[in-house]
Structures are given as structure tokens and as C-alpha cells.
Structure 1
Amino acid sequence: MPSPFENQTKQFNVLINAEDQHSLWPQDYAVPAGWEPVSSGTLAECTAYVDAHWTDMRPRSLKLAQAAANGSRR
């Protein structure tokens, strides 16, 4: 079975989870539990969305913990 990522005209969703992590997901596949669609389009469009919006790869919980640690040092 060929990978859906090999088809440049297939439609995808950009999914995001509670940790602000992003994933590309074929539109004709069920969205897994814990993930929400935030954008859709071709693979190229979805990749561009991820590149523009997921600029900090740290999970949300790590960002919050680091912010709290930095705030407590002041």
C-alpha cells in the first residue's frame, strides 16, 4: 500500500494536541483521540502551516514549567 504522503494532490489535516504538537494527517483517516484539526489543504499547504505555526518544538508543559522556573528566580 503506498503512503498517502506520496500523493501530492491528497487532502490533509493539520492536527494539534494538548501539548501544542502538530501532525499531518490524511483527511480521509479518522482523527485520533487527543488531537484536533486546525487547518487543512494539500500536503504542501499543511506543511507550510506547520512551518509557520509550530516554531517552538518544546511541549506546552515544558514551556510552562520553564516559564514558572524563570519567574521564581526573580
Structure 2
Amino acid sequence: MNDGTHRYTVLVNGAGQYALHPEGAEEPSGWLAAGFGGTEEECVAHVDRCWTDTRPAHLRRPAGAGHA
């Protein structure tokens, strides 16, 4: 059980998906720090505010976007 003392970093991947990762641990391939860290509760609240549409990024783009 997390007692609130563990710290996490919020990560984001190329599909715009978010994950919590133990602070200080090497980021997995394909994931980058999203610029937020804190307790699990703080990070989950941040992700909830930022990631309101959980579909992968390519499904969130408007029809025709990205076509030349």
C-alpha cells in the first residue's frame, strides 16, 4: 500500500497516453517526462486534468488533419 511518501513522475508517449513512473527511475523507451511529479494522488489528479480524451492521439485528430 502506498502511504503517500512514494514520489512519481508523469510520463507521456507519442500517442499522447500518460503513465506514472517512480521518480528517479529511467524512463522506458518511447516515454518522456511530462513535466510533473509528486505523490501518486497528485500525479493522478494531474493526469485526470490533462488527459481527458484517452483515445490514442491519432484517433483524436480531426478528419483530414495531417494530410498535405
Q: Following the alignment from structure 1 to structure 2, what is the Cα–Cα distance between the partners of residues 15 and 53?
A: 12
TM-score if structure 1 supplies the norm length? Answer: 0.76
Q: Which has the higher helix share?
A: 1
Cα displacement (A) at 1:28:
3.1
Q: Which amino acid aligns with 1:68?
A: A
Larger Rg: 1 or 2?
1
| Runs (5+) with no aligned partner, structure 2 | none
Structure 1's consecutive aligned runs of 4 or more residues displaced over 3 angstroms after TM superposition are none
- Counterpart pick for 1:51 among 27, 39, 48: 48
The sequence identity of aligned pairs, in percent, is: 38
Give the TM-score normalised by structure 2: 0.82
Give structure 1 stretches of 5+ with no counterpart.
Answer: 70-74
Q: How many residues align?
A: 63
